[in-house]
């Protein structure tokens, strides 16, 4: 196999800090300081040393031209990973090689190989200039000539659906529109690899569609560029990616094509529909320990629905029997295709969106 464009090897990053931060100048900080002077234990207000393992031995590779997703919930370590790839944060240990260059030794070469769209990237635009001029400025910084900078700026604004805002100040844009402007900035410079940290977070569905369409169809399929993007949206990852790495608490849980991840799931996922009494059905299923996890529950006026991962050895018939013996009649019980949310739940016992 040829050398991949990105190789991440046993990456580890631990954050150590005090809470409250001794430099924070907050009331909590002063309270804890004064109690300390008096030689008293500050109790719940005391400064506490905290250690967070943000990346815990993460390894994976991305091949040239791949569309690769890093899927994980809040706090999984996605932004920390992106910062390490972008050479703005040094890992404690492990190694990253991008386009043949080591991020800890060949920073300039790595930076020339990637175009990064950071999360909350709307910071850093000048509201004295128009949106278009801001992009042109960044284009010039990236080394484009005046004409290229103008053309690319317009093309990038169009890609994120903001072409009509070319002459407006970024200060007049909503936060979702500013996020789109930040994505546009990343599109000015065509490096071999695009790295985008949650490019569709905080963006409405139509704009999210436009951003996805552009990065998948124009950048990746059209121009053949490699894309790594992070998301906590499992259906986005499932629909878009050639391959997905599912991460949680800095660890890799699984990595493969979305269809292969789903196919490898040993658990049977079923959907039960009922004309009524879905709540009773839920209780019955919980009491009998039939399901490993109930992943969806809905009770309406004249219909109800339950979706669940079944415990091993349990099938649709056992669900039917259990419900019937409790006087509940399902209108249908059918096996359904699992999704990446089911894969995440299988590995962690938790939902991707954080609800248990
Ligand atoms: N500068 C920092 N100092 C201390 N802890 C940090 C710092 N940056 C991140 N962390 C911690 O590291 C862990 C991973 O954070 P990170 O921002 O990488 O997660 P994430 O996957 O990007 O989450 P989100 O989906 O919320 O953006 C979290 O527990 C976070 O609290
Ligand atoms: Mg993040």
In the chain, list all ranges with CATH 3.40.50.300: 6-11+56-261
| Dmax (CA) of the chain | 76
Distance 30 CA to ligand 2 centre (A): 30
Mean pLDDT of 193-198: 94
Domain at 267-337: CATH architecture: 2-Layer Sandwich (3.30)
Task: For a ligand 1 pocket test, name from 52, 229, 230, 236 the mutation site with the most ligand atoms within 8 angstroms of its C-beta.
Answer: 52
The rounded distance, in Å, linking the Cα atoms of 343 and 351 is 10
- pTM of this structure: 0.87
Ligand number nearest to the C-alpha of 89 = 1
Alpha-carbon distances, residue 326 vs 271, 296, 302, 354 (angstroms): 18, 21, 19, 32
Ligand number nearest to the C-alpha of 72 = 1
Give 197-211 pLDDT, tens digit per residue: 998 888 888 888 888
pLDDT at 350: 83
| Ligand 1 atom 27 nearest Cα | 74
Backbone angles phi, psi at 47, to 5 degrees: -70, 135
Which of the listed CATH numbers 3.40.50.300, 3.40.50.150, 3.40.50.1000, 1.10.3720.10 matches domain 6-11+56-261?
Answer: 3.40.50.300
Ligand number nearest to the C-alpha of 75 = 1
Among 68-77, 218-227, 345-354, top mean pLDDT goes to: 68-77
Distance 12 CA to ligand 1 centre (A): 13
pLDDT at 355: 46
pLDDT at 344: 93
First to last CA, the chain: 41
Q: Is 79 in the pocket of ligand 1 (CB under 6 A)?
A: yes
Enter the tokens of residue 26.
């907050």
In the chain, list all ranges with CATH 3.30.70.260: 267-337
pLDDT at 122: 61
Cα dihedral 232→237→242→246 (10° resolution): 40
E-strand stretches of 180-303: 193-197, 226-231, 243-248, 251-256, 269-274, 291-299
| For the CA of 250, the nearest atom of ligand 1 | 14
Q: Is 80 in the pocket of ligand 1 (CB under 6 A)?
A: yes
| Ligand 1 atom 29 nearest Cα | 75
Beta-strand pair 291-299/332-335? unpaired
Residues in the chain: 356
356 pLDDT tier (thresholds 50, 70, 90): very low
């Amino acid at each position: 196999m040829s050398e991949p464009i990105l190789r991440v090897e046993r990456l580890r990053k631990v954050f150590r800090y005090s809470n409250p931060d001794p430099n924070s100048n907050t009331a909590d900080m002063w309270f804890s300081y004064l109690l300390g002077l008096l030689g008293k234990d500050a109790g719940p207000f005391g400064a506490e040393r905290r250690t967070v393992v943000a990346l815990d031995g993460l390894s994976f590779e991305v091949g040239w031209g791949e569309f690769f997703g890093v899927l994980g919930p809040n706090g999984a370590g996605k932004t920390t990973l992106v910062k390490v790839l972008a050479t703005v944060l040094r890992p404690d240990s492990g190694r990253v090689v991008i386009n043949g260059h080591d991020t800890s030794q060949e920073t300039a070469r790595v930076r020339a190989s990637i175009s990064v769209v950071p999360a909350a990237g709307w910071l850093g635009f000048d509201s004295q200039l128009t949106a278009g001029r801001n992009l042109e400025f960044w284009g010039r910084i990236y080394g484009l000539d005046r004409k290229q900078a103008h053309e690319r700026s317009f093309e990038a604004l169009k890609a994120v659906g903001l072409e009509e805002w070319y002459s407006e100040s970024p200060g007049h844009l909503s936060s979702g529109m500013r996020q789109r402007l930040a994505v546009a900035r990343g599109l000015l410079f065509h490096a071999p690899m695009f790295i985008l940290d949650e490019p569709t977070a905080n963006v409405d569905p139509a704009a999210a569609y436009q951003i996805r369409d552009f990065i998948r169809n124009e950048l990746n399929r059209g121009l053949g560029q490699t894309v790594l993007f992070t998301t906590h949206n499992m259906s986005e990852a499932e629909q878009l990616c050639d391959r997905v790495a599912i991460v949680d608490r800095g660890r890799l849980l699984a990595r493969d094509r979305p269809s292969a991840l789903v196919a490898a799931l040993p658990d049977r996922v079923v959907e039960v529909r009922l004309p009524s009494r879905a709540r009773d059905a839920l209780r019955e299923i919980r009491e009998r320990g039939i399901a490993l996890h109930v992943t969806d529950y809905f009770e309406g006026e004249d219909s109800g629905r339950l979706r669940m991962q079944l415990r091993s050895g349990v099938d649709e018939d056992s669900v039917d029997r259990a419900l019937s013996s409790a006087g509940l009649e399902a209108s249908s019980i059918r096996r359904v295709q699992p999704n990446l949310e089911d894969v995440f739940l299988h590995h962690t016992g938790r939902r991707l969106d954080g609800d248990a």
